[in-house]
Amino acid sequence: MRLSFVGPLSSIAIAGFTCGSLFAQTVVKPSSKIEPGLELAVNWKWWVAPPEKTEWGMPLPEALLPKPPGAIEPGKPVAPRPETYDVKKGDAIIKIARKFDMTAAQLKQFNDLQDDRIQIGQTLRIPTHEHLLTLIPPPPEPKAEPNPPAGVTDLGFDADFEARMELDNVRLQVFLDREMFSPGMIDGKSGATFLKASEIYQRTHPDAASPCLLKAKAEATVTQPYTTYTLRAEDFKFIKPPKDEPVASRNGKSSSKKKTAAPAPLPPPVTIDELVAADFLGYTSAWEFVAERFHCDEVFLHHINPQLKATPAVGTGFQVPNVVPFEIEKALAAPLQPAADPQKPVTAAVVLLSRLEISCEGKLIAVMPLTTARPGLRGRDKWTVLDAIPQPRLATRREPREIPKPKPAPAGDFVAGPEPVIDPPLEKDQFLAPGPNNPVGVIWINLAKSGSTDPLPYGLHGTGIPARMKLEGIGGLRLSNWDIARAARLMPAGTALQWKKE
């Protein structure tokens, strides 16, 4: 069945019948408010198509393919991470630390150094990635500051206080994420989504009914807010290879002599033709891959890994939030949805067009941030959750969602210009390939009006832009890829979905 994303019109034709007044009229926004690459595509009809192949991911680059026993690696072999390092002329603590993907503070702590002074020939111990986790120091106690003079108010914030607040926020965000009360992207900040998730959790859990109780519960459960992750060769099945540097190197090194600054965590500009030409819409960088795997903001991932190079490679160790990771290589394993259990009924609700709430036997078990990919998207009463489609593709023939109406000619002798030219639709379907950066993410969940099994043109789905989900795009109701994967495994087909104002 072809499901057209015809846009939020006042009347929508679906599979031969009409459901009226489900959605409000929209106006196309400026391109700065549209998902990158979709500036033209938001004006076209789109529909969901099943995956063309069962393989998930891209072929590994040749340099990362497993080698048979006894095979000789091309080029100079890369030594494993050493246990010690002898200081050489020109070395400095910060340079050695960056060489082995850690901070200067971690290197000094592991070697009991009080300052940055080192000597040629001195042997330093190099911690493993597992050891690095134990070297994440707790926030230092705030220094005692003298009382300001009478009449003077100190409005400054101590850096130690800010570091402690960030660690406390990360711990609580990790806790809520583990509890399926998603705070959104983990970033160590007190954002509106995080605060709302905290409020709902307190309201529904008597043992965390106040901020103090919630903090105590989080501290007892999440003893270590961070963990480490080492980039693997198989991860590059989902990461586009960099265009100017190879990926087969260890410890973040590259065989390219060209040095580049740390990249901005925004994807490079892309056009709809480039998106359509791709066979797989993978992550644009290892940073993006790791950030999504551990449910965190990419800017924040850079912040907590300042020692890493611009292009992390196989063997690079990251410090990451200690969540249950989104393992994209396993995320689509069947069955995507559970079987319905009449003894444990599941219900769901879209609340204020800002979050998805899932309940089992009347108890709230999951809260996930949600946005609309189409401005003006609305629903009423109850809908029904249908089947989940893994690896969704998006298809179009570049037909306009709305045919522009000619403007009436003004009175007088004014001569109207030519009517706008509308390009004819394509003769064949054109596709946006599956992948984590597909505009509807890794999973699409069909929805129907209550009492019907005919899918609506809008569903629940993931996104390729978790940091900018409020931008206009194509699709329906979007969540992060890690949340849509969790939501699918909580809601059996037939789950009632209610629209709520609060």
Residue where the block lists tokens 């002898």:
86
Sign of CA dihedral 392, 492, 367, 208: negative
What whole-number distance in Å separates Cα of residue 484 and Cα of residue 292?
Answer: 13
Residue where the block lists tokens 């189409």:
374
pTM: 0.76
Residue 321 lies in a domain: no
Here the CATH number for the domain that contains residue 354 is: 2.40.440.10
Residue 234 lies in a domain: no
- CA-based max dimension of the chain: 92
Residue 496 lies in a domain: yes
Residue 387 lies in a domain: yes
Q: 3-state DSSP call for residue 165?
A: helix
Torsion of CA 106, 109, 111, 116, to 10 degrees: 80
Domain limit, last residue, from 223, 252, 272: 223
Same domain, 368 and 481: yes
Q: What are the φ/ψ torsions at residue 383 (nearest 5 degrees)?
A: -115, 180
Residue 275 lies in a domain: no
Same domain, 339 and 487: yes
Q: 178, exposed or middle or buried, with CB in 10 Å at 0-12, 13-18, 19+?
A: middle
Same domain, 176 and 32: no
Residue 262 lies in a domain: no
Same domain, 345 and 486: yes
Domain limit, last residue, from 223, 240, 260: 223
Please tell me what DSSP assigns to residue 55.
-
Sign of CA dihedral 56, 58, 63, 67: positive
Both tokens assigned to 352: 């204020």
Same domain, 375 and 486: yes
Contact yes or no for 5/47 (Cβ under 8 A): yes
Domain limit, last residue, from 208, 223, 238: 223
Cβ neighbours of residue 165 closer than 8 Å, sequence gap 6 or more: none
- How much is the pLDDT for 80? 72
Residue 285 lies in a domain: no
Same domain, 184 and 42: no
Contact yes or no for 359/348 (Cβ under 8 A): yes
* SS3 of the chain: helix, strand, coil, percent, to 5: 25, 20, 60
Same domain, 338 and 213: no
- In angstroms and rounded to an integer, the radius of gyration of the C-alpha atoms of the chain is 26
Q: Which residues of 294-329 are buried (b: 16+ CB within 10 A; e: fewer)?
A: bbbbbebbbebbebbbbbbbbbbbbbbbbbebbebe
Torsion of CA 98, 101, 106, 109, to 10 degrees: -80
- How much is the pLDDT for 490? 98
- How much is the pLDDT for 141? 41
Q: What is the mean pLDDT of each run of 10 residues along the chain (502 residues)?
A: 43 29 34 87 92 88 66 49 90 87 84 89 86 57 49 57 93 98 96 97 97 97 95 94 51 41 56 93 96 97 92 92 97 95 97 96 97 86 95 95 64 58 84 96 96 92 93 94 98 96 80
Residue 187 lies in a domain: yes
Both tokens assigned to 274: 């480039």
Same domain, 337 and 481: yes
What whole-number distance in Å separates Cα of residue 326 and Cα of residue 435?
Answer: 14
Q: Any long-range contacts for 426-431 (C-beta under 8 Å, 24+ apart)?
A: 426/396, 426/397, 426/398, 427/397, 428/397, 429/49, 429/395, 429/396, 429/397, 430/276, 430/395, 430/396, 430/397, 430/398, 431/49, 431/52, 431/276, 431/393, 431/394, 431/395
Same domain, 341 and 485: yes
Number of domains in the chain: 2
Q: 168, exposed or middle or buried, with CB in 10 Å at 0-12, 13-18, 19+?
A: middle
Residue 211: which domain range?
159-223
